[in-house]
């Protein structure tokens, strides 16, 4: 590793192995995140993607391997789900102020995440898309160097997915931060992310989206038809292409290991 590369490194997990109830979920996995990276983890359900995120963040223990985080690294985390007590009358404004001493969340973050009109709304009454924007606003409050998201577009319809990915793209470009994300939305991953890491217990393949789509291990996991569709999907960031005629990329992939999708 060059001195320049070492100076830009934010997070580095090396040779990570995790076993749960006799099953190896992560096997000798190494992943590094540098400044201004945009990395998306993909793979079938049960592949260990969320566990890898939690291990890198220090939220889950590993059996083998080492994890290094840049001293003073500021992290923002958007979890896959938010457990809510439906009897608790918590407004968005109150939720965003929890844990913030002597201040409320900064107005510019509300504008950035398009949540300024939601402050008086009950948190449990939000749509899935609104709730994800609120979680994103909270994650951005500390001005993170690295934003980590676990399935941020899950349970959103196509329009909600597009809106969220476009918002994340703006945040990435304007804040000049790094993003590490888990996603199943392969069509959106191919048009928004800079690097794709395909995980199934180990790292099957990684690189630029179009390169990964042609890798034999990607084809083995997701099928030749998916690889063909993604190989011609335009990789750009203005999102002006016609989404109405886009193919359905949420079909269950071919999984030779028998994992449920």
Is residue 65 in a domain? yes
Q: What is the pLDDT of residue 5?
A: 53
pLDDT band at residue 256 under the 50/70/90 scheme: very low
With a pLDDT cut of 90, the percent of the chain lying above it is 46
Is residue 57 in a domain? yes
Is residue 115 in a domain? no
Is residue 26 in a domain? no
For 207-233, the pLDDT digits (tens) are 888 788 788 888 888 787 777 766 654
Give me the mean pLDDT over the 82-111 stretch. Answer: 81
Given a cut of 60, whether residue 260 has pLDDT beyond it is no
Given a cut of 90, whether residue 175 has pLDDT beyond it is yes
CA distance 75 to 72: 9
Q: Which of 81-85, 139-143, 234-238, 248-252 has the lowest mean pLDDT?
A: 248-252
For 41-72, the pLDDT digits (tens) are 988 888 899 999 999 999 999 999 999 999 99
Q: Are 121 and 89 in contact (CB under 8 A)?
A: no
CA distance 75 to 71: 11
Mean of all residue pLDDT scores within the chain: 82
Is residue 125 in a domain? no
Expressed as residue numbers, the domain containing 243 is: 41-74+147-160+181-256
Give me the mean pLDDT over the 18-33 stretch. Answer: 94
Domain count, the chain: 1
Is residue 22 in a domain? no
Given a cut of 70, whether residue 254 has pLDDT beyond it is no
Is residue 127 in a domain? no
DSSP the chain: --HHHHHHEEEEEEEEEEEETTEEEEEEEEEEEETT-EEEEE--TTSSHHHHHHHHTTSS--SEEEEEE-TT--EEEE-S-----TTS--BHHHHHHTT-TTS---HHHHHHTT-GGGTTSBGGGS-HHHHHHHHHHHHHTT--SEEEEESTTTT--HHHHHHHHHHHHHHHHHHT-EEEEE-S-HHHHHHH-SEEEEEESEEEEEESHHHHHTSHHHHHHH-HHHHHHHHTS---SS--S-GGG-----SPPP-TT----
Given a cut of 50, whether residue 2 has pLDDT beyond it is no
Which residues have a Cβ under 8 Å from the Cβ of 235 and sit 6 or more positions away? Answer: 190, 191, 208, 209, 210
Name the residue among 218, 250, 234, 74 with its Cα closest to residue 153: 250
Is residue 215 in a domain? yes
Q: Which of 6-10, 179-183, 256-260 has the lowest mean pLDDT?
A: 256-260
- Of the two residues 29 and 209, the one the predictor is more confident about is 29
């Amino acid at each position: 590793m060059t001195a320049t590369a070492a100076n830009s490194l934010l997070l580095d997990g090396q040779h990570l192995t995790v076993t749960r109830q006799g099953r190896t979920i992560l096997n000798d996995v190494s992943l590094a995140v540098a400044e201004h990276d945009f990395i998306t983890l993909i793979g079938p359900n049960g592949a260990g993607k969320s566990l890898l995120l939690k291990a890198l963040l220090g939220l889950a223990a590993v059996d083998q391997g080492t994890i290094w985080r840049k001293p003073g690294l500021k992290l923002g985390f958007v979890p896959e789900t938010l457990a809510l007590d439906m009897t608790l009358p918590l407004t968005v404004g109150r939720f965003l102020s929890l844990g913030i001493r002597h201040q409320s969340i900064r107005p510019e973050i509300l504008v950035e995440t398009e949540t300024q009109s939601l402050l008086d709304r009950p948190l449990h009454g939000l749509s899935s898309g609104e709730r994800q924007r609120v979680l994103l606003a909270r994650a951005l409050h500390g001005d993170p160097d690295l934003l980590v998201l676990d399935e941020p577009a899950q349970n959103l319809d196509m329009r909600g997915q597009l809106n969220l990915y476009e918002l994340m793209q703006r945040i990435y470009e304007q804040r000049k931060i790094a993003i590490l994300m888990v996603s199943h939305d392969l069509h959106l991953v191919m048009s928004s992310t800079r690097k794709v890491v395909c995980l199934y217990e180990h790292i099957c393949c990684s690189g630029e989206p179009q390169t990964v789509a042609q890798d034999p291990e990607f084809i083995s996991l997701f099928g030749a038809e998916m690889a063909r569709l993604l190989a011609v999907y335009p990789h750009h960031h203005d999102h002006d292409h016609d989404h109405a005629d886009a193919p359905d990329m949420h079909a269950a992939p071919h999984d030779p290991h028998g994992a449920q999708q």
